[in-house]
């Protein structure tokens, strides 16, 4: 199935009280680990490509790879531009086929954030692309051993959140309520009352950024209060680096780079699988057949990423037990695209009429 955007997926997550992991892809090994895990856990997944990571991976190339893989994956897959700060990058992502984008204007004054976000929404919605925006500031940084903590003075104000959502027509709202990007100094103290107020009053899917350091218990509580998208990257990176060190220490004569990557990927998959369990997204494709209206991926033949039909043992085999054996009525690619276009127009009309 083609990529899904986040409008329907986040609505489904909000109604059924689970969160979907948005995992950053700075390289193709990480992407493979994410998709393999999502399929094994029967979980929807968001592939995040951060603008700051475009020095490691090409935007157009990764869009092509993810789109091709999504066609064969029997779970909903969204391709999302993470922390897009430049208009040019956002337009490039839309043209490349990203199904969702985040415009991060959190560093701007409120009125300017509203103005720029609303313009991005108008453009992206015309293309069937969902939009996430941020209000308040999630501090910190990535790619460094320095540790950070949250600053309550820049937490998201619930009154401003209501106004921001109404004036911009965004689909998801990223908020600041106690997390930080990168490694956290100490233990995050999440402001759950603030989260509850924002989710209740805006009636929007709410996004948690800076997931590293948050306890499993706090993740579950955040999801119960309205968090539907959870950005998770730093711990994945830390796991990969630590696994690489351990593998090389245990095998000092190792000279096979592909074998090193393969073993590191397995370590990443364990972390991702645990997080999908904690977020509540594991097994969603089996437990909630109505999610198929967003995806319909299980109508795709069981074909592996190299184009060879699966006969057993490959990760890309899942189909729900209730799937009919005769797929002769499977929609053609043109039928699917026509349906997507019709649904997108209906959704956008509903948003504009709201």
| Tokens representing residue 30 in the block | 């990480």
Instruction: Choose among 175, 268, 180: nearest CA to 229.
Output: 175
pLDDT for position 351 = 55
Per residue in 244-298, pLDDT (tens digit) is 999 999 999 999 999 999 999 999 999 999 999 999 999 999 888 777 766 666 6
Whole-angstrom Cα distance, residue 115 to residue 345?
24
DSSP assigned state of 303: B
DSSP assigned state of 289: G
Phi/psi of residue 135, nearest 5 degrees? -130, 135
Please answer whether residues 296 and 1 qualify as being in contact, where contact means their C-beta atoms are separated by less than 8 angstroms. yes
| Helical H segments across the chain, by residue range | 6-16, 28-40, 59-72, 87-96, 110-126, 158-168, 192-202, 216-224, 234-250, 257-279, 284-287, 333-353
What integer is the mean pLDDT of 165-175? 96
Whole-angstrom Cα distance, residue 145 to residue 160?
33
Cα dihedral 49, 51, 56, 57 sign: positive
333 three-class SS: helix
DSSP assigned state of 309: B
pLDDT confidence bin for 211, thresholds 50/70/90: confident
Distance of CA 180 to the CA centre of its chain: 17
Q: Which residue has the tokens 């059924």?
A: 16
Q: How confident is the prediction for the chain on average, in pLDDT?
A: 83
pLDDT confidence bin for 91, thresholds 50/70/90: very high
Exposed / middle / buried, residue 3 (Cβ in 10 Å: 0-12, 13-18, 19+): buried
What integer is the mean pLDDT of 299-324? 37
User: What domains are defined for the chain?
Assistant: 6-289+341-353 (3.20.20.70)
pLDDT for position 308 = 37
| Tokens representing residue 160 in the block | 């401003």
Q: Is the pLDDT at 148 greater than 60, yes or no?
A: no
Please answer whether residues 72 and 316 qualify as being in contact, where contact means their C-beta atoms are separated by less than 8 angstroms. yes
Q: Active-site positions?
A: 82
pLDDT for position 310 = 37
Residue % of the chain over a pLDDT of 70: 76
Q: Is the pLDDT at 239 greater than 60, yes or no?
A: yes
- The reported pTM is 0.80
Residue 112: count of CB within 10 angstroms of its CB: 11
First to last CA, the chain: 29
Whole-angstrom Cα distance, residue 227 to residue 224?
7
Q: What is the dihedral of CA 65, 71, 75, 77, to 10 degrees?
A: 50
pLDDT for position 18 = 97
pLDDT for position 172 = 97
Whole-angstrom Cα distance, residue 175 to residue 173?
6
279 three-class SS: helix
Instruction: Choose among 210, 205, 173, 229: nearest CA to 45.
Output: 229
Residue % of the chain over a pLDDT of 90: 63
């Amino acid at each position: 199935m083609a990529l899904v955007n986040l409008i329907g997926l986040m609505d489904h997550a909000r109604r059924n009280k689970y969160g979907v992991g948005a995992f950053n892809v700075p390289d193709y090994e990480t992407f493979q680990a994410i998709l393999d895990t999502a399929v094994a856990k029967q979980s929807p997944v968001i592939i995040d490509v951060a603008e700051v990571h475009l020095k490691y991976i090409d935007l157009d190339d990764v869009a092509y790879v993810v789109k091709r893989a999504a066609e064969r994956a029997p779970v909903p897959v969204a391709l999302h531009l993470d922390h897009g700060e430049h208009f040019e990058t956002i337009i490039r992502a839309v043209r490349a086929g990203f199904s969702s984008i985040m415009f991060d204007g959190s560093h701007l004054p409120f009125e300017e954030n509203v103005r720029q976000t609303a313009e991005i929404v108008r453009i992206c919605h015309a293309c069937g692309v969902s939009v996430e925006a941020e209000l308040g500031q999630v501090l910190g940084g990535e790619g460094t051993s320095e540790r950070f903590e949250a600053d309550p003075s820049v937490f998201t104000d619930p009154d401003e959140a209501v106004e921001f959502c109404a004036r911009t027509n965004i689909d998801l709202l990223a908020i600041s309520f106690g997390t930080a990007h990168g490694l956290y100094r100490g233990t995050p103290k999440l402001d759950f009352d603030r989260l509850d107020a924002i989710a209740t009053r805006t009636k929007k899917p709410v996004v948690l950024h800076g997931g590293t350091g948050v306890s499993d218990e706090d993740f579950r509580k955040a999801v119960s209060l309205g968090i539907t998208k959870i950005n998770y990257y730093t711990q994945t990176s830390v796991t990969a680096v630590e696994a690489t060190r351990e593998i090389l220490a245990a095998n000092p004569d190792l000279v096979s780079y592909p074998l090193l990557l393969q073993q590191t990927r397995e370590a990443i998959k364990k972390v991702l699988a645990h997080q999908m369990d904690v977020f509540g997204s594991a097994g969603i494709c089996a437990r909630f057949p109505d999610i198929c209206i967003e995806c319909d991926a299980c109508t795709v033949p069981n074909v592996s990423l190299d184009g060879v039909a699966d006969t057993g043992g490959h990760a890309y085999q899942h189909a729900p037990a209730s799937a009919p054996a005769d797929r002769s009525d499977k929609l053609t690619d043109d039928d699917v695209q026509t349906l997507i276009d019709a649904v997108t127009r209906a959704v956008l009309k509903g948003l504009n009429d709201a």
